[in-house]
Structure formats: structure tokens, C-alpha cells
Homo-oligomer: A and B are copies of this chain.
Amino acid sequence: MLELRLVQGGLLKKVLDSLKDLVNDANFDCSATGFSLQAMDSSHVALVALLLRSEGFEHYRCDRNLSLGMNLSNMAKMLKCAGNDDIVTIKADDAADSVTFMFESPNQDKIADFDMKLMDIDSEHLGIPEAEFQAIVRMPSAEFARICKDLSTIGDTVVISVTKEGVKFSTRGDIGTANIVCRHNTSVDKPEEATIIEMEETVSLTFALRYMNSFTKATPLANQVTISLSSDLPVVVEYKVAEMGHIRFYLAPKIEEEEEIEAQRETRPQVETKPKTKPKTEIEPPIDDIKPKVEHVSDIKPKLEIKKPKEEIEASGESKPQVDAKAEIEVMDVE
């Protein structure tokens, strides 16, 4: 028996709006500690992780762990039927073949219940490796969204470079080039307008703007976004979900053009590059082709056997993405 009651229905609507463009179907994993989801996007290039801790709910009851397979676009449709101020209750029994969404208007005049069939979804529940980041940028989420949108009118990829002074977003396309620099700035009146650069080491990584623009669908959730970068690791783009948890997007960097790959190999010959032949389970060759050398989330293919810890939901701190990621991966390549 699962029963969660959330006072701010609008939050859940925004969460689903952030997810539904990236992921079609996914399992919501409910345990005593919270409500979470992890899924790769439909082309298996990006990964999204949602966490809503039980403490964030007005009422939270989860007798045993349940994995609710939902079509996110259908779930989003149902949640759209809730008013932004409605109290939302989610119910499922242990059979877990359907889920009920109940919406109560603030004055209790309207009570709606929506029932949705659940689906069996092959669990792609993946542990996410811990990592230290060379640089963490915190900036207004709307500004980041605007930059990604603007740059994608010029080019397909963005180079994100962090120095102590600021973060630079660059692109290049047929019509010209663009560079946008945002300076470290904590002096603004409102903390939500600050841009904060925490940097151990300068870092410069390239990403597909297409995915960045999907991630920024989460912008309505939070005033600020955190972008955590390390060479050869997926970037983590994180939005807080008010007092409850977060939504995190992971995207592997592209490696630079051929010449630069060669240069890298020369300076760091010990790097083990991924073989060009790819398993049939990989759906999206163009991106995988130019993936960096180390294992990271986008290397995890759905068919891999994963040891899935039952207590994967962490309840710990929110400040640094890397400390949150407690789940362990045990990847066995099927090839």
C-alpha cells in the first residue's frame, strides 16, 4: 500500500513537464525514504534522476518498496488536470497494476480522481558513480536556459569552459561563432540572481545542445541550476525541487574533433579508448561514437546486468551532487 499526499500539486506538474520530453516510460521507485526515478532518455545518451524525499510530503506511507511503471506523457496529462494549488494524493496498492491520482481543490469543493494503468518496464535503474568535480557552476536557471536556447540557433554543440573568473559558453556554426561569458557574481541583491563558480581546476567540455535544451525544461522548478563538470565525466545539471529533493540530468561530453583526440592520445597514451564496434543494443551511434574514454552513465546500456541496491534512495545533503550519489553500479558488459 502506497499513499502519498503532496500539498503543492503544481510541483509535481512541473516535475513531469521536465521529464516527459526526455523519457517516455519509466519506473517510479517508492520506498520508505522517498519517491524516485532514474531513466535514460529514449536514445540512451542522457540520464535523468529524480528524487523526492518522503519528508517533503504532507503524508507519506509506503509499506513495501514498489516500482510503478508509468508512461510519463500520460502521467503528465493527468497531472495537468490538477490545479496548481490542488492537494495531490497518489495511491497504489501492492499489486501495483494501476495508480490513482486524487486532486482536491484548496477549498475542498472539487475532488477528482484519475486512475492510470501501470506498465511493466524493464528496469534501467542504474547506480550513478560517485565523482569529484573539477568545477561547479551555480547560476540562475533562466539564464542558463536562455544561453542554451540562443546558442542552439548558431550551432549544435556548446563548449562550457570554467575559469575562476567565470563560465564561458561557446558555439560555432555555419553562420558564425558565439561566446557568452557569465562572471562569478555574488554581489547581487537577490541570491537567486547570483552566479557562483567553485573551481578546483579549469575545465572545458563539449556537449550536445539538443540535450541541454531538454534539461532546461526543468527551469520552472528552481531559480538556480547547478552545473558540475569534470574532464571525461558526464556533466550533472541539477535543479532543486523545493524542500523535497532534486532532478538531475547527466550528459556525457563529446570529445573534440579528430585532431584533438590525437593530441590527447599523445599526451595521455595510457587512456584506454572504447572499441569502435558497438553492441547492437546501442541505439544512437552518432553520439556514442565520439564518447570519451572512461566508463560513465551514458556507457551503461539498458541490457547490462546491474546490481540494484534496494536502498538506493539517499536522504543526504543537497549541496554537492557528488556526495549524494550513493548507489553502486556493477556493470557487466553483455558483449
Q: Hey, which bits of chain A sit against chain B, CB under 8 A?
A: 71, 74, 77-78, 80-81, 98, 107-117, 143, 150-151, 153-154, 175-183, 185, 188, 195
Q: How close is A73's CB to chain B, nearest CB, in angstroms?
A: 9
Contact present for B109 and A177 (CB under 8 Å):
no
- A107 contacts across to B, CB distance below 8 A: 185, 188
Contact present for B183 and A81 (CB under 8 Å):
no
- A74 contacts across to B, CB distance below 8 A: 175-176
Given contacts A153-B77, A182-B109, contact A114 B71 (CB under 8 A): no
What number of copies of this chain does the assembly contain? 2
The 7 A-B residue pairs whose C-beta atoms are closest, nearest first, are: A81-B150, A116-B176, A112-B180, A74-B175, A114-B178, A115-B177, A77-B153
Given contacts A80-B150, A153-B80, contact A176 B109 (CB under 8 A): no
Nearest residue, chain B, Cβ from A180: B112
Q: Which of A98, A113, A195 has the most CB of B within 10 A?
A: A113
Q: How close is A172's CB to chain B, nearest CB, in angstroms?
A: 9
Q: How close is A99's CB to chain B, nearest CB, in angstroms?
A: 9
- A182 contacts across to B, CB distance below 8 A: 109-110
| Overall SS of chain A's interface | strand
- A150 contacts across to B, CB distance below 8 A: 80-81
Nearest residue, chain B, Cβ from A103: B180
Partner of A112, one of B78, B98, B112, B178: B178
- A188 contacts across to B, CB distance below 8 A: 107, 109
- A110 contacts across to B, CB distance below 8 A: 143, 180-183
Nearest residue, chain B, Cβ from A114: B178
Further 4 A-B residue pairs, CB within 8 A, beyond A109-B188, A111-B181: A77-B175, A81-B180, A110-B143, A114-B179
Partner of A78, one of B111, B114, B143, B178: B178
| A175 to B181 alpha-carbon distance, docked (Å) | 45
Given contacts A78-B154, A81-B150, A154-B114, contact A71 B175 (CB under 8 A): yes
Given contacts A114-B177, A177-B115, contact A154 B109 (CB under 8 A): no
- A114 contacts across to B, CB distance below 8 A: 154, 176-179
Nearest residue, chain B, Cβ from A73: B175
- A117 contacts across to B, CB distance below 8 A: 175-176
Q: How close is A60's CB to chain B, nearest CB, in angstroms?
A: 23
Q: How close is A115's CB to chain B, nearest CB, in angstroms?
A: 5
Nearest residue, chain B, Cβ from A113: B179
Jot down 29 A-B pairs with beta carbons below 8 A, ordered by A: A74-B176, A77-B153, A77-B175, A78-B154, A78-B176, A78-B178, A80-B150, A80-B153, A81-B151, A81-B178, A107-B185, A107-B188, A108-B183, A109-B185, A109-B188, A109-B195, A110-B143, A111-B181, A112-B178, A112-B179, A113-B178, A114-B176, A114-B178, A114-B179, A115-B176, A115-B177, A115-B178, A116-B176, A117-B175
Nearest residue, chain B, Cβ from A102: B179
